[in-house]
Chain A
Amino acid sequence: MSDELIQRVLKAIATSKRIPLETVTIDSEFQQLGIDSMDAVEILFALENEFDISIPDDEVRSVRNVRQMCEGVAKLVAAKAGAGAKP
């Protein structure tokens, strides 16, 4: 997981939730940040746009913190790059 990817995820969360970027870290729990289920759905929307990926519902069901979210995005971004590399 690159620092660049993590920073983009943190920024998407902060922008979507309208909280200062410095309050969001890779170790933040959604609960600490006051992110409820509707906030989470909005953040997923922002991430899909930011990374041009499609995040399946099943992938997000158990996501409770920023680290899990970054890992999920990294996986999908890698999968997209892999698919694009095929002939």
Chain B
Amino acid sequence: MRRVAITGVGAISALGRNAAEFAESLRQGRSGIGPIESADVSQVRFQNGAEVKGYTHQPYFDDRRADFLDRFAQFAVIAAREAAASAGIEWTPELRETAAIVTGSCVGGQSTEDIGFHEVYKMGHNRVHPLTIPKTMANAGASHMSMEFGITGPSFTISTACSSAGHAIGQAYWMVRSGMTDLALTGGSEAPFSFGILKAWEAMRVVSPDTCRPFSKDRRGMILGEGAAMFVLEPLEAARARGARIHAEIVGFGMSADACHITQPSSEGAARAMRAVLRDSALAPEQIGYINAHGTATPANDTTETAAIRAVFGPHAGRLAVSSTKSMHGHGLGAAAALECLATVLALRDGILPPTANFTGPDPECDLDVIPNQARCAQVEYAISNSFAFGGLNAVLALRRG
């Protein structure tokens, strides 16, 4: 089995248009949550989200190309361009033919679909725009990435709700580790701010009326986010041989299914995914120094996740630093695990653990060191990033300082 390095990173999110801006926001504990601007929320009970502020396609795509890409696919390509550029990949015909793309997305281009269905259902028009299908499909991000770079190897998309990008990155990691491919572009992207989707989230009553306060006593739910994060994965030896910058190593991937309830989280399922990642990476619980939590700030998730961490890590749970960066970049659904993998990579690489922002006070049922409000300087060797989806499908990544 080969060791796997992350040699390229890219991101676009509420925390900025690139990975450096993302890192700076996390360092400062600055939240990207604010009033939703890209959808009309006058008839929605919640008003705040974590959007890519003032986004327009013009600096990234000419108008005709943009016609073919829903916002979520645009984000995928933008983050992938940055990741590929930062990795300094030299594209050869052989590499293009064997490189892989694995992306995650939960809702895909449903915002485009929302517009089309509004036309026929509400406006009484008799036709929907012909690009509705190709813009809506959840694999559009991966497809446009393949066209962007001329990658013709194995490329696909995984949709497991809030774990989508975690499953995608884990799969890409296993593909590079096993020798199936020598380069993978992987991550997740999402753009869920459309009226219909927001109403659906409103009906679930899990969205906070103000902001996202994970593990906080007075937490009131999640805040939706959007964006993308993408990574270039290569065999560590090859990356070293070409002198590439190693941002971090991925050292394990664990999955589980709750087999319990379609929305309620299960601490047993979460614990099994964390145990699986420790097995896959051959790490002892005591070797983990930081956990980027799923930490949605719903009443149910945070207590369940705390119980799961305590079950897996035992006494070491009290020494672990745990934070939820969803407090800053929001819940990016299918992009969440990618944004959080990036936050974990940056924590290891830069020696700065990102805080749980908007924290107002401890909840006895979430009695972990959640790095409240202030980033912390700490050299950590190993970290994990948790993703627990609606539907009970869990994905956990383990990373090592590069």
Contact = CB atoms under 8 A, between A and B. Distances in A.
Interface stretch (A11-19, A36-44, A68-76, A79-87): A36-44
Contact of B205 (A36, A54, A57): A57
A36 B264 contact: yes
Interface in A1-51: 36-38, 41, 44-45
Interface in B245-281: 261-264
Contacts of A44: 205
Nearest to A54: B45
B391 interface: no
Chain A interface residue number, banded = 10 to 19
A41 B201 CA distance: 11
B264 A38 contact: yes
Given A36-B264, A56-B45, A57-B45, A41 B209 contact: no
B47 to A, nearest CB: 13
Interface residues of B, number: 12
A9 to B, nearest CB: 18
Q: Most A CB atoms within 10 A — which of B205, B261, B262, B263?
A: B205
Given A57-B45, A57-B209, A38 B300 contact: no
Contacts of A36: 261, 264
B45 A38 contact: no
A38 B263 contact: yes
A60 interface: yes
A44 B203 CA distance: 9
B263 A45 contact: no
A35 to B, nearest CB: 12
Contacts of B205: 41, 44, 57, 60
Among the interface residues A41, A44, A56, A57, which one has the most CB atoms of the partner chain B within 10 A? Answer: A57
B204 interface: yes
A67 B203 CA distance: 22
Nearest to A58: B209
A68 to B, nearest CB: 16
Contact of B203 (A45, A56, A58, A60): A45
Interface of A: 36-38, 41, 44-45, 54, 56-58, 60
Interface of B: 45, 203-205, 209, 220-221, 261-264, 300
Closest 4 CB pairs of A and B: A38-B263, A57-B205, A41-B205, A45-B203
